[in-house]
């Protein structure tokens, strides 16, 4: 009986130990799993923390750059405001200086038109006076016309010069003397003497080319008008255009003869007109 009791007690003890051992192992396994999970969570957390830190650094850099850009933009805005104020001041000044009523504009326009018409009348009268003074010459020797506000006296080579020469023939001298009498009675009229040739090349001991010849002919006429007939040299210009401004095509002898000419161009003084336009 005693042996049976001891056997039973031993069995109970062994079962208790085994049960206790099983429970401890299960808890240990659960604990290990929790530890592993915590480690894993810790690693993930650290990784996210590193990512957040990098993102924060990047954001701070961007914020710094934005701050610099804002500073630059504010500086530009300040400069633009200064420029805008300056423009406003200039506009106000211009507005005050150029302010003109409709009545003022109409009055100025009327004065301008009146002056234009007066000048046209003067130049038309001058053209008619010159034409009458030179009426004894044929149209193939000279002709007078009005163009673009100027009076032109076109003198042919036939009237003035021998071929290749800048010496004015006696008949031409008489025509220029008659012209000088009319011009001396004018005021505020500028005179430009332009020499022209055909396109046939010329090269002599005296003249290098047509340009040289045309300029010399214009100068000869200036001397006759001023030195011999008393026209004011301050009101006259001599110029040569060679063959570069023909009135005909230079294809025939007749057309080339038309291009060999000297033009006396009479222009009105435009100072008063300019005063109206730019007061």
Domains in the chain, please, with CATH?
109-277 (3.30.1330.60)
What are the pLDDT digits (tens) for 198-220? 999 998 999 999 999 999 999 99
> pLDDT digits over 148-168, tens only?
999 999 999 999 999 999 999
- Give 25-54 pLDDT, tens digit per residue: 666 577 666 666 666 666 566 666 666 677
* Confidence (pLDDT) at 222: 98
Give ∠ CA 135-225-131 in degrees, rounded to 5: 15
pTM: 0.62
In this structure, the strands spanning 150-156 and 189-196 are unpaired
């Amino acid at each position: 009986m005693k042996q049976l009791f001891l056997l039973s007690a031993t069995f109970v003890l062994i079962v208790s130990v085994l049960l206790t051992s099983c429970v401890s192992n299960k808890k240990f396994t659960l604990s290990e799993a929790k530890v592993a999970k915590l480690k894993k969570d810790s690693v993930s957390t650290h990784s996210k923390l590193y990512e957040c830190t990098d993102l924060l650094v990047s954001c701070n850099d961007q914020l710094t750059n934005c701050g610099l850009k804002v500073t630059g933009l504010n500086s530009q805005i300040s400069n633009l405001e200064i420029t805008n104020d300056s423009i406003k001041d200039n506009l106000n000044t211009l507005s005050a200086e150029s302010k003109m009523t409709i009545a003022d504009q109409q009055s100025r326009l009327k004065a301008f038109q009146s002056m234009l018409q007066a000048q046209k009348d003067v130049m038309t009268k001058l053209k008619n006076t010159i034409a009458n003074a030179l009426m004894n010459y044929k149209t193939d020797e000279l002709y007078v016309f009005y163009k673009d506000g100027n009076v032109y006296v076109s003198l042919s080579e036939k009237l003035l010069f021998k071929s290749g020469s800048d010496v004015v023939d006696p008949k031409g001298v008489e025509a220029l003397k008659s012209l000088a009498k009319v011009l001396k009675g004018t005021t505020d009229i500028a005179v430009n003497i332009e020499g022209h040739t055909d396109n046939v090349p010329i090269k002599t001991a005296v003249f290098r080319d047509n340009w040289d010849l045309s300029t010399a002919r214009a100068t000869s006429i200036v001397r006759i008008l001023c030195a011999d007939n008393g026209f004011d040299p301050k009101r006259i210009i001599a110029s040569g255009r060679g063959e570069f401004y023909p009135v005909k095509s230079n294809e025939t002898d007749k057309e080339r003869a038309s291009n060999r000419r000297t033009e006396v161009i009479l222009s009105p003084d435009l100072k008063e007109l300019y005063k109206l336009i730019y007061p």
